[in-house]
Chains A and B, each alone.
Chain A
Amino acid sequence: MAIKDYIRQRYFPQMWCPGCGHGIILNALLRAVDEMGLDKNNIVMTSGIGCSARISGYVDFHSLHTLHGRALAFATGVKLSKPELTLLVPMGDGDALAIGGNHFIHAARRNIDMTAIVMNNRIYGMTGGQYSPLSGYGKKATTAPYTTIDNDFDVVNLSIAAGASFVARSTAYHVLESIDILKKAIQHKGFSVVEILSQCPTYYGRKNKEGDAVSMMEFQKNTTAKLGSKALEKDPTLIPRGIFVDVDAPEYCQEYDKIVERAMKASQNNRVDQTLTTEAGHTCPTP
Chain B
Amino acid sequence: MARLKLKEHVINRDWCKGCGICVHFCPKKVLELDSQEKVIAVRPEDCICCKLCELRCPDLAIEVVTIQTNQEAQTDQTTRMSEDD
Known contacts A2-B75, A175-B56, A176-B80; is-contact A225 B17 (Cβ 8 Å): no
Known contacts A214-B21, A226-B85; is-contact A14 B59 (Cβ 8 Å): yes
- B4, chain A: closest CB distance, angstroms: 16
Asked if B24 and A214 make an inter-chain contact with CB atoms under 8 angstroms apart, the answer reads yes
- B31, chain A: closest CB distance, angstroms: 13
Task: Give the distance in Å from the alpha carbon of A4 to the alpha carbon of B80 in the complex.
Answer: 20
Question: Is B82 at the interface (CB under 8 A from chain A)?
Answer: yes
Using an 8 Å CB-CB cutoff, how does the interface string of A154-188 with B read, 1 for contact, 0 for none?
00000000000000000011111101000000000
Question: Is A190 at the interface (CB under 8 A from chain B)?
Answer: no
Residues of A within 8 A of B83 (CB): 173-177
Question: Is B41 at the interface (CB under 8 A from chain A)?
Answer: no
Asked if B56 and A27 make an inter-chain contact with CB atoms under 8 angstroms apart, the answer reads yes
Count A-B contacts at CB 8 Å.
83
- B27, chain A: closest CB distance, angstroms: 13
Task: Give the distance in Å from the alpha carbon of A244 to the alpha carbon of B16 in the complex.
Answer: 35
Asked if B55 and A21 make an inter-chain contact with CB atoms under 8 angstroms apart, the answer reads no
Question: Is B72 at the interface (CB under 8 A from chain A)?
Answer: no
Task: Give the distance in Å from the alpha carbon of A12 to the alpha carbon of B19 in the complex.
Answer: 16
**A side interface size, CB within 8 A:** 39
A217 touches which of B18, B25, B75, B80 (Cβ 8 Å) = B25
Asked if A231 and B85 make an inter-chain contact with CB atoms under 8 angstroms apart, the answer reads yes
Residues of B within 8 A of A24 (CB): 21, 56-58
Known contacts A3-B60, A27-B55, A176-B83; is-contact A19 B17 (Cβ 8 Å): yes
Task: Give the distance in Å from the alpha carbon of A173 to the alpha carbon of B84 in the complex.
Answer: 10
B55 touches which of A2, A19, A20, A28 (Cβ 8 Å) = A28
B58 touches which of A3, A23, A34, A226 (Cβ 8 Å) = A23
Task: Give the distance in Å from the alpha carbon of A35 to the alpha carbon of B77 in the complex.
Answer: 9
Question: Is A239 at the interface (CB under 8 A from chain B)?
Answer: no
10 closest A-B pairs by CB: A23-B58, A19-B19, A18-B17, A18-B19, A214-B24, A13-B15, A175-B55, A24-B58, A226-B85, A213-B19
